[in-house]
Chains A and B, each alone.
Chain A
Amino acid sequence: MLSKMLLGRYIPGSSVIHHLDPRAKIVCVVLFMIIVFFANHWTGYLLLILFVVSITKMAGLSLIFLFNGLKLILILLVFTFMMHLFFTKGGIVLIDATLFTIESAGVVQGVYITIRLAMLILITTVLTLTTSSVSLTDAIERLCRPLKTLRLPVHEIAMMMSISLRFIPTLMDETEKIIKAQSARGSTFMTGSLKSRMNALTPVFIPLFISAFKRAEELAVAMEVRGYQGEAGRTSYRVLDWQYKDTLAIITVIIFGVFLFMIRQ
């Protein structure tokens, strides 16, 4: 299951979304993060879903593939929904039990916030699935270039982000291997109380951390011997080429945002 996780993965392809300038994609995602908050009733949320599904299709990614890869995130979504279900009050009382009450506002708010969160996760996943980590580094670096005047190490931060993304699938694979190895030696992760399950994870986390530090050290050595010394004197294999379609993509997202804002109730 962990090995199917999409977080941090890049799926090479030749779709329109793949071919957009990574800077345009990042700007679009940032705009989308703002636009998501414009939706405040079911029409807006429906449009948000349609928009994200269209983008996913344009990226040549199947929704089933995305769903399978984001199964673990469902826990977060269910948790968000439950929080609103039990703690947001207002409207008609739907269930009145001794320990809790569920009111209609809680259900509506739970659904809305969960959709909002799900769309944000999906759109950022589409960004990382269609943009290589090297391109992301370049784009973040270029977009944040003005911050260099404040002496922020923009290149180093972008490189760290890119490597973190690149290592997520590797560490997921590692976690799965450790879980299998510990299971084979009698550890159980799916039974018992919450406390005993948490305790059972200790023998997973310790080797995982040791391995992560070892990998980090080996990667640092490998980068050093391949001549990496930070930004100074570096050239780029990937050429960022802003085209008409990139401007068009941003305009489309802005128009969508304005429309969503106008239909607010």
Chain B
Amino acid sequence: MEQKNNQPVKYDLNFAREIYSLENGSYIKQCMQCGMCAISCATREIMDYSPRRLFNLIKLGKKDEVLEANTMWQCTSCCTCKARCPRGIPIIDVMHDLKKYAIQNGYSDDPRAAFYKAFWAEVASRGKVFEGGVTARYYLIRGLDELKKAFAMKDVGLNMLRHKRMPLLPPKKVKGLGNLKKIIRKAQELERKEAGR
């Protein structure tokens, strides 16, 4: 991390405590800064901070640096770090928590944040994914400027339509969408319980 104005950094435990109280947040405390996650990570090169550094920033209380970082968004959930972590930290789950926390706290500049939101809204309302729907929602969230990019992609879209890789009309909702919603509610309840540990 770049040191600003040569001022010594201060440790702010409040932010750390907030992150530690997330569903898998308390595991971060176990990090011993060995760097196994960093050397195991396929996307480490394009991350702002490796998971190890991110966890250290959390400890220091660097809220902006942590939540503006692309680290969790670059994570592909490949599970290598989680499998290798000598301290047993479920790093991909921690990354999911951080993504959610970032969105909830207004740190959603990353395009993938918009995609996550679009995908989730689609699944929650239909129980299925409709590509057209996800795309439309994505561009709506990202703003009209992004539409230019969408036009640039139009040939891809047309080709997909032609090869029946993308339906033109939305599919039917799943049977018993009410039950699905119950399942989701139950899962969210469990998540809150986990976080209370």
Say whether A and B bind each other.
no
Residues of B within 8 A of A (CB): none
Residues of A within 8 A of B (CB): none
